[in-house]
Amino acid sequence: MITTAVIPIAGLGTRMLPYTKEQPKAMLPLFVGNLVKPALQIIFEQLYKAGIRKFVFVVSRGKRTIEDHFTPDYTFLD
């Protein structure tokens, strides 16, 4: 049984310029029904539905946006 997903999202995204100038390509918005979610979030949710609970994100330097997206901010919780 597969228990861990390794998601390689490192790279500069130069083929998607100018869209990736400000944000990583994995965080580009996609439409899901009537919602807009980052591409990486959609991948994460699909893997989670498949039963995978351990995730490894391979990122390059300067991709703080990805780390911030998946780190809980306890100041917003009760």
Q: Is the pTM of this model over 0.85?
A: no
Q: Which helix (H) or strand (E) holds 42?
A: helix 39-49
pLDDT digit string, tens, across residues 18-61 = 888 888 888 999 998 899 999 999 999 999 999 999 999 998 88
Domain segments of the chain: what residues?
4-71
CB-based contact 61:53 (threshold 8 Å): no
